[in-house]
């Protein structure tokens, strides 16, 4: 792959953003990465160092979101968290993915997170298909 050093198994964050822009197997932005992690689709997660954002988590379904009260998967109340990015990283690691922290803000083009995907995500509007 262009721009990826030979010793790298995963696309660089720059390549990840390019892949996402081409609507390939990558996602950029916290909302998209939370959705991807909820679908257990994240291969490698890139996180801006020091980024902390509150959100909600369903501990039963591993659903992650920025807000909401009831889990869209199981309907149970979701737990509020002060650091949904931390929950996101833990979920990615639990699914066998990897997490990389980025120090320079410009690498993520101002976004807090980006990720590469194991497979194409179901469309956000079809999330009920995950039941
Ligand atoms: Zn749930």
pLDDT band at residue 123 using 50, 70 and 90 as cut-offs? low
Q: Which of 23-32, 69-78, 104-113 has the lowest mean pLDDT?
A: 104-113
Is the predicted pLDDT of residue 9 greater than 90, yes or no? no
How far, in Å, from the CA of 10 to the mean position of ligand 1? Answer: 30
77 CA from centroid of ligand 1 (Å): 8
Q: What is the DSSP annotation of 67-130?
A: S-SB-TTT-PBPEEES-HHHHHHHHHHHTT-EEEEES-GGGGTT-SEEEEESSPPPPGGGGGGG
Question: Mean pLDDT across the chain, nearest whole number?
Answer: 87
How far apart are the CA of 89 and the centre of ligand 1, in A?
Answer: 18
In this predicted structure, what is the pLDDT of residue 125? 43
| CB-based neighbours (< 5 A) of ligand 1, an ion | 58, 60-61, 63, 71, 73-74
Q: Parse the chain into domains and list their residue ranges.
A: 13-118
Distance of CA 104 from the midpoint of ligand 1 (Å): 34
pLDDT in tens, 98-113: 999 998 778 888 899 9
Residue 63 alpha carbon to ligand 1 centre in Å = 6
pLDDT for the residue numbered 32: 95
Q: Is the dihedral of CA 67, 68, 69, 74 positive or negative?
A: negative
Work out the pLDDT band at 10, boundaries 50, 70, 90. low
Q: How far is the CA of 50 from the centre of ligand 1 (A)?
A: 28
**Contact (Cβ atoms closer than 8 angstroms) between residue 17 and residue 108:** yes
* 129 phi, psi to nearest 5 deg: -65, -15
- Position 110 scores a pLDDT of 87
Question: What pLDDT does residue 128 have?
Answer: 44
**Nearest-10 Cα torsion for 26, 28, 33, 36:** -30
If you measure from the C-alpha of residue 117 to the centroid of ligand 1, how many angstroms do you get, rounded to a whole number? 22
CATH of domain 13-118: 3.30.1330.30
């Amino acid at each position: 792959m262009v721009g990826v050093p030979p010793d790298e198994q995963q696309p660089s964050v720059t390549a990840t953003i390019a892949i996402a822009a081409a609507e390939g197997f990558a996602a950029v932005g916290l909302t998209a990465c939370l959705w991807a992690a909820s679908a257990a689709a994240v291969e490698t997660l890139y996180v801006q160092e020091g980024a902390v954002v509150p959100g909600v988590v369903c501990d039963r379904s591993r659903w992650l979101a920025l807000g909401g009260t009831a889990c869209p998967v199981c309907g149970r109340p979701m737990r509020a968290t002060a650091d949904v990015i931390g929950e996101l990283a833990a979920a990615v690691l639990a699914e066998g993915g990897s997490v990389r922290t980025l120090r320079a803000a410009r690498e993520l083009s101002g976004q807090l997170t980006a990720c590469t995907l194991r497979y194409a995500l179901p469309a956000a509007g079809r999330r009920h298909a995950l039941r």
